[in-house]
Structures are given as C-alpha cells and as structure tokens.
Amino acid sequence: MDKRGAELGLNWIIIAVLAVLVLIVASYFFLSGSGGVTGTIRDIFRGTTSGISKSISVENCIQMCRQLENYPVALRGKSPFCTTNFKIDEDNDGEAQKVNDEYVKYYCQRAGAASAGAERDLGVPCRIREETFSCPG
C-alpha cells in the first residue's frame, strides 16, 4: 500500500496549525505592542457618540479639501468639506462634547460659528490651485 496520500494530508494539517499560531502571535504582538495604533483604530470606529479625536477630524478635512479641486466651482460650497460635521471628544472623557444635551457639531470651516455654541469651526485652511477657499456663510 502507498501511504503518500496520508502523509501529505498530515503535513498540510501541521503546516496549517503552525501558520494559524504564527498569525495569532503576530496579531497579538502588533495589537498589544503598539497602543497608538489600537487607539487610532478605536477612534475611527467609535465615532458616533463617543466622538473622535480632533486630529483625525482635521485629517479628514484636509483630504476633503484636496478633493475640492475636482469639484466645479459652483458646487464647492455644498461639498463635504463645507457640510460634513464631526463629533469630537475634546476632553478625552469618552464622550463627544455637548451643549445643552446636544452634541456639538464641528465643521472644517463654518462662517459665523460661535466657539461656545452647538456648531464650531475647526478652522482648517483650504488652498485650491494657490487660492484660498472659504465655505460660504
């Protein structure tokens, strides 16, 4: 009788078990060994009421500003750069900022947004082809 088929199957099982173990150890090392990465991932996926960090919001605004170059001039004021709001946890208490039980909405640029009201301006500058763009008020 030829046993090569049985040995080949056993070899594959051993290789698969070892590969899974290596993946588990590597995952544990990367996730527990670098707290900054796990914190950033947590901020991205925990954005509804717990709020995200201000730096991630500013980075999103910068990306949206870069996309404005592809927008027709007439539509730039209605672009995500001007209309998207963020819920930010400024005091790191695990919850987005509130004013009178209403979450504060932070915008990339918001003309006339009071610094203490329910709408706030992140003040992210936006330059398109050497011109400064400002969202309409």
Q: pLDDT tens for residues 76-121?
A: 889 999 999 999 888 888 788 888 888 889 999 887 665 657 888 8
Note the pLDDT of residue 57: 92
| Segments of the chain assigned E as strands | 85-86, 98-99, 102-103, 105-107, 119-121, 126-128, 131-133
For residues 67 and 106, is the Cβ–Cβ distance under 8 A?
Answer: no
pTM over 0.75: no
Q: pLDDT tens for residues 14-40?
A: 999 999 999 987 787 676 665 555 666
Note the pLDDT of residue 100: 85
pLDDT confidence bin for 3, thresholds 50/70/90: low
Segments making up each domain of the chain, as ranges: 4-33, 47-133
